[in-house]
Chains A and B, each alone.
Chain A
Amino acid sequence: MDDKFAAVGEAMPRLLEGLRVTVELTILGAIAAFILAVILGLAAASPTKVWRIPARVIIEFFRGTSLVVQIFWFFFVLPLLGIDLHPLVAGVLALGLNYGAYAAEVVRGSIQSVPSGQWEATTALSLGPVQRMRRIIFPQAWALMIPSLSSLLIHLMKGTAIVGYITLADFTFQLDQVKRVSGTLFTYGIVGMLGYFLFALLLTLAMNLLERQAKHKLGQGTSLRRILSPAPAPTTRAGGIQ
């Protein structure tokens, strides 16, 4: 067992470099997916067909074709059409489009779940459509969508493990490189699982904090600052609405 740990210790710089690529892909992919999700989600929630129908087609297309197909298509087919993408760009694009399409459904659903009374109040106050979305509806939908976005983020992170096949040296790729020295089962079963799991936990934690903050802005729950402060937690206040 000791020699396995030693082998992993020796390979640590490689593994950390691989983890860095995985983290980078996850974060860039998530940013691309989020931007796309907001645009497509708003369009899909629009009452105007001119916006809604193209959004639906794009969403269904990228949800319906598998992530792996999209990654390989961007990597192998686009160069044939004269578009040469850096593998990292191809990876981020595929992750962004695939999970962006899933997340767009979350955005649309959350926007449409904001109670009708809120929409009516904006009409009664003569707010325009842009103000209504930006200042009233989206901030409330945001708190609703975070839990689903959080689980999509984990899916996206897990999906990055395929990028070794488009020449990106991510964590899974580096595990494959060191497995001969450190033993296959130890490498995948302990080092690999643990590495990904810890990253996933960190992502989940970050999303949970984001959700707390969003809910606090809606007057629900304690503030982030209070949770993170070293001072002892205040006694729970009675009558708070959860």
Chain B
Amino acid sequence: MMGIPAGLDWDWSTAADVLPTLLTQFLKVTLLVTALGTVIAAILGLVIAMAMRLAPRPIAAAVKWIANIIRMTPIIIQLLFAYYAFLSLDAITVGVIVFGIHYSTYMSEVYRAGIDAVPRGQWEATTALSMSMRRTWMAVIIPQALRATIPALGNYAISMFKDTPFLLVIGVVELVNAGLIYGGNTYRYIEPLTLVGIIFLLASYPTSLLIGRLEKRLAYNT
């Protein structure tokens, strides 16, 4: 049993000491991975959704199972696997790719629902107008399907943001890892870890409020 250690009280000078490091890692790593990962997830998710609809059946089924396996297994295992599989890539690059792929399996479901929600009449109208398959998708289906997916995309970006600490398993010094390293060096955990929590809260809560508002707006404007 530990006695009450010196680390009990909140120390402002420690907090001031660690904050710049935390903010730097936050901007340089956490936000960067989230932003790039979101872009990959958004594009790849659409590709998967379209593949499941357009590709020949065996391929569509294979894509579906692979997506299921990725979605239902820990991102940590995927990070470790990819890190050792592509030793030539640096850890942050691996992180961006793995987060992008992992979340693309979620995004594909959002797109699929969005595509399914486009009324039958829209498809029939493109047939009646003899529009090409390509034109049908690019000009009619995707623009309508995309609109409803924007809030979901935003929510997954926030989820991804909160998952970025998993990157520490492949040695990336993101926000949490930076706090842990500081704690390990100074034996003061209370300030860095509490500040890390506050930064997460301050970044994610207003963003989710914003997305909630966007969601309402889009719902009314249809």
Complex Cα distance A30/B175, Å? Answer: 27
Asked if A69 contacts B7 (CB within 8 A), the reply is no
Nearest chain B CB to A83's CB is how many angstroms away? 10
Q: Which of A55-72 contact B (CB under 8 A)?
A: 60-61, 63-70, 72
Complex Cα distance A172/B73, Å? Answer: 11
Asked if B81 contacts A193 (CB within 8 A), the reply is yes
Complex Cα distance A172/B75, Å? Answer: 11
* CB neighbours of A159 from chain B (8 A): 74
Q: Which of B143-192 contact A (CB under 8 A)?
A: 162-166, 168-169, 176, 179-180, 183, 189-190
Asked if B189 contacts A77 (CB within 8 A), the reply is yes
Nearest chain B CB to A156's CB is how many angstroms away? 11
Complex Cα distance A179/B77, Å? Answer: 12
Residue of B nearest to A183 (CB): B84
Q: Is B54 an interface residue (CB 8 A)?
A: no
Q: Is B129 an interface residue (CB 8 A)?
A: no
* SS of B interface (majority): helix
Residue of B nearest to A67 (CB): B162
A201 interface neighbour in B8, B72, B162, Cβ under 8 Å: B72
Complex Cα distance A154/B105, Å? Answer: 14
Interface string of A184-204 (1 = CB under 8 A from B): 110011001100110011001
Asked if B84 contacts A69 (CB within 8 A), the reply is no
Q: Which of B41-74 contact A (CB under 8 A)?
A: 69, 71-74
Asked if B77 contacts A69 (CB within 8 A), the reply is no
Q: How many chain B residues touch A (Cβ–Cβ < 8 Å)? A: 42
Complex Cα distance A205/B4, Å? Answer: 47
Interface string of B1-34 (1 = CB under 8 A from A): 1101101100000000000000000000000000
Interface string of B71-88 (1 = CB under 8 A from A): 111111110110011000
Residue of A nearest to B162 (CB): A66
Q: Is B117 an interface residue (CB 8 A)?
A: no
Stretch at the interface among B89-97, B119-127, B133-141, B194-202: B194-202
Asked if B180 contacts A72 (CB within 8 A), the reply is yes
Residue of A nearest to B165 (CB): A68
Interface string of A157-201 (1 = CB under 8 A from B): 111111001000000100110000000110011001100110011
* CB neighbours of A9 from chain B (8 A): none
Nearest chain B CB to A240's CB is how many angstroms away? 24
A64 interface neighbour in B5, B75, B205, Cβ under 8 Å: B205
Q: Is A79 an interface residue (CB 8 A)?
A: yes
Residue of A nearest to B159 (CB): A155
* CB neighbours of B5 from chain A (8 A): 80
Complex Cα distance A176/B5, Å? Answer: 33
Footprint of B on A, CB under 8 Å?
A: 60-61, 63-70, 72-73, 76-77, 79-82, 84, 154, 157-162, 165, 172, 175-176, 184-185, 188-189, 192-193, 196-197, 200-201, 204
**Given A69-B165, A80-B5, A172-B80, 9 further pairs, Cβ under 8 A:** A60-B205, A64-B200, A68-B165, A68-B176, A80-B8, A158-B74, A176-B80, A184-B81, A196-B74
9 A-B residue pairs with Cβ-Cβ distance under 8 Å, sorted by A, are A63-B204, A76-B193, A80-B5, A80-B8, A158-B73, A184-B81, A188-B77, A192-B81, A193-B81
